[in-house]
Structure 1
Amino acid sequence: MMLDSNAKEEIEDMKSEIQTSEMILPGLDEALAFDELLRHVEDPNWDVIVFDTAPTGHTLRFLSLPEIIEAWSGRLIRMMRISGGIRSMLFGSKESNEMKEELEKFRRRVLHVRRVLSDEQLTSFTLVTIPERMGVNETLRAHKSLVEFNLPVHSCLVNRLTPEFDHPFLAKRRDAELVRISELEEKLDSVEVASLELLDQEVIGVENLRNVGQTLYGVPTKIDDSLGPHSIGKLLKHDIHRGMVKELHEGIERIYLHFPGIKRDELSLRSNDGILYIGLNGREKEIKTSVPVKASQVDAKLEGDVLRLDIPLE
């Protein structure tokens, strides 16, 4: 393929704008995991997402991805603007625009999950450690790093505390562990510190998990059907929101959808063959309705994080 002088100039501009190494997405595996997390956050069928992270170093690298990906995608978008003419020749203007749009959607999804993770009304990080010097020191470092990322840490669970027995060895061990817990309480003054005693068996199986859950959160109780927030917990406490609430009023079905951290320009609404779809940054979810729906007949209103849909039943 022969390139004219203008195309050659564009190539030189591209070379100065970005290096080949900068085209590689850092932490691709973590980025894909981040996108999978957002799929659940954007799904109103889930009320609560529990994300059990890897050990501290991996977790902090994972949580730094929004800034890394935003910088990476910003460089790539700038390069795509500079190289517009060349890309149009190689791929055609339609394909070129689609590539740019998909990249922009991905960048916006990353920023969305960052907003959710940094909002203390929506997200709560719970540190889990053991009552030993190494575990406590690592927990304090993790807390410092999370705070630097502006991520809300509300609680810390100290696991495997030696139970209180009338035995000199166990009593000495427990006293040393209580000192470590006191250290955590002192240095994490804004964080609720709770402890869970060492059990006589591994926590394996649904029944054992349920027992530990009741220790941490109390006996399960039914919460009302409103969006919330609803306060739950015993040793650990959280405020949760329902993802979706449906109500029947005279002549309409009203659906409340909780989309944490969403912005108006990130939402879209359409229907196809009577099925209603909500789009968030280009990713669509089907919303179950009582009757076939036309999007043009739906009265939609966004208030904060809650999208209200009024659907005519006739």
Structure 2
Amino acid sequence: LLISTDPAHSISDCLEQHIGFNVREVSGIENLAAIEVVADEALSGFKTEHQSELKKLLETSTNLDNEDIDELLTLSIPGIDEVMSFKTIIDFIEEGQYNKYVVDTAPTGHALRLISSPKLLDEWVKVAARMRWKYRYMITSFSGNYQQDEVDSFLLSLKKTVKRIENILRDNTKCEFIPVCIPEAMAIMETGRLLEELGKSEIISRQIIVNNVMASEACGFCKQRKAGQLKYIRQIDETFTQLNKVEVPMFAEEIKGLEALNQLRMCLFGDQPINP
């Protein structure tokens, strides 16, 4: 299953097939399905599914009236897009309908926020749990007994979701992050920052793809451009010594459609048919 979390989705354009926010089988390839995650729709579905638990949490833990609660639930929370995207990914993985899950992230900044989203969700759950504890303490003080309800089950479920996400990300037999960069100074710096953050999160990377490498010296511009790139390719070799480097040449035309993607695949994996 190919999952795009990039807000500027390009899978549909790349495959030259409409994908959208529903899993679709990719026409022309027997073993590939794809989805473009739309964070707003994922959040809307989450709120619809758990509306009663969210409202009850706020009703029992705040002094807000129903109108204020309804308004609060419509507000956008910083980081919620990445949290919802990651939760969608985990939901698919737990359904277990596919052998492999490939996530196409946005560039570095968005990818870093996506990676850090489990920690953010964990902080939200901790805040909600503290709010809930005060309510539980009050009920126990007055009645002497507290019965767990759907809100407690909901918070426990979210806590377990965070734990599952962390376990998957840190399991190097199940998860690997493959950075893609171009042979330019800024891209190398961003990739280094990304790999540093991945290391802090205990997410393994074994390979790096260097894209848009000049292959031709047919003209003066091409020759000069290639010479400049060689300097940065050497820098990549010296900086990311622990990674296996794969170079992808600059194509004359945009990579769109299965035929062009097959050419790209051969650069990455060798000359094997796309449907073995």
Q: Please confirm whether the aligned pair reaches a TM-score higher than 0.5, indicating the same fold.
A: yes
Does the CA contact (< 8 Å) of 2:262 and 2:274 recur in 1?
no
How many residues in Structure 1 have an aligned counterpart in Structure 2? 200
1:117 maps to amino acid: L
Secondary structure in 2 matching 1:77: helix
Query: Which is bigger in relative contact order (C-alpha 8 A, separation at least 6)?
Result: 2
* 1:136 equivalent in alignment to 2:188: yes
Q: Could you list the per-position Cα deviations for residues 248-290 of structure 1 after superposition, in whole angstroms to 9, with x for gaps in the alignment?
A: xxxxxxxxxxxxxxxxxxxxxxxxxxxxxxxxxxxxxxxxxxx
Structure 2: distance between partners of 1:118 and 1:39: 17
1:200 maps to amino acid: A
Structure 1: distance between partners of 2:262 and 2:139: 56
Summarize the Cα distance change of 1:57–1:216 in structure 2 as closer, same or farther, 3 Å threshold: same
Match of 2:89 in 1: 37
Structure 1: distance between partners of 2:133 and 2:89: 30
Structure 2: distance between partners of 1:74 and 1:85: 16
2:159 pairs, out of 107, 110, 114, with 107
Match runs of 1:196-235 below 5 Å: 196-218=248-270, 219-220=272-273
Does the CA contact (< 8 Å) of 2:217 and 2:226 recur in 1?
no
Name the larger-Rg structure: 1
Tell me the CA shift for residue 178 of structure 1.
1.4
Summarize the Cα distance change of 1:221–1:162 in structure 2 as closer, same or farther, 3 Å threshold: closer
Secondary structure in 2 matching 1:126: coil
Does the CA contact (< 8 Å) of 1:26 and 1:68 recur in 2?
no
Structure 1: distance between partners of 2:249 and 2:163: 39
Dislocated runs of 4+, deviation >4 Å: 85-89, 220-223
1:76 pairs, out of 124, 128, 134, with 128
Tell me the CA shift for residue 114 of structure 1.
1.6
Match of 1:189 in 2: 241
* 1:65 equivalent in alignment to 2:120: no
Secondary structure in 2 matching 1:196: strand
Secondary structure in 2 matching 1:156: strand
Gaps of 5+ in 2: 1-60, 63-71
Structure 2: distance between partners of 1:56 and 1:45: 29
Tell me the CA shift for residue 168 of structure 1.
3.2
Structure 2: distance between partners of 1:77 and 1:167: 65
Structure 1: distance between partners of 2:162 and 2:216: 47
Tell me the CA shift for residue 128 of structure 1.
0.7
Match of 1:287 in 2: none
Structure 2: distance between partners of 1:43 and 1:217: 29
1:177 maps to amino acid: Q
Structure 2: distance between partners of 1:194 and 1:134: 19
Structure 2: distance between partners of 1:220 and 1:121: 26
Match of 2:48 in 1: none
Match runs of 1:1-314 below 5 Å: 26-84=78-136, 97-218=149-270, 219-220=272-273
Structure 2: distance between partners of 1:222 and 1:86: 63
1:101 maps to amino acid: S
Q: Could you list the per-position Cα deviations for residues 119-172 of structure 1 after superposition, in whole angstroms to 9, with x for gaps in the alignment?
A: 211111111111111111111111112112211111111111111324333122
Structure 2: distance between partners of 1:173 and 1:53: 28
Q: TM-score, normalised by structure 1?
A: 0.58
Q: Could you list the per-position Cα deviations for residues 54-113 of structure 1 after superposition, in whole angstroms to 9, with x for gaps in the alignment?
A: 111111111111112112212311321221266799xxx76x611111111112112211
Structure 1: distance between partners of 2:266 and 2:100: 17
Summarize the Cα distance change of 1:82–1:25 in structure 2 as closer, same or farther, 3 Å threshold: farther
Match of 2:21 in 1: none
The structure with the greater share of residues assigned to helix is: 2
1:32 maps to amino acid: M
Q: TM-score, normalised by structure 2?
A: 0.65
Secondary structure in 2 matching 1:193: strand
Does the CA contact (< 8 Å) of 1:25 and 1:72 recur in 2?
no
Structure 2: distance between partners of 1:221 and 1:160: 22
Q: Percent identity?
A: 25
Does the CA contact (< 8 Å) of 2:208 and 2:243 recur in 1?
yes
The structure with the greater share of residues assigned to strand is: 1
Does the CA contact (< 8 Å) of 1:157 and 1:196 recur in 2?
yes
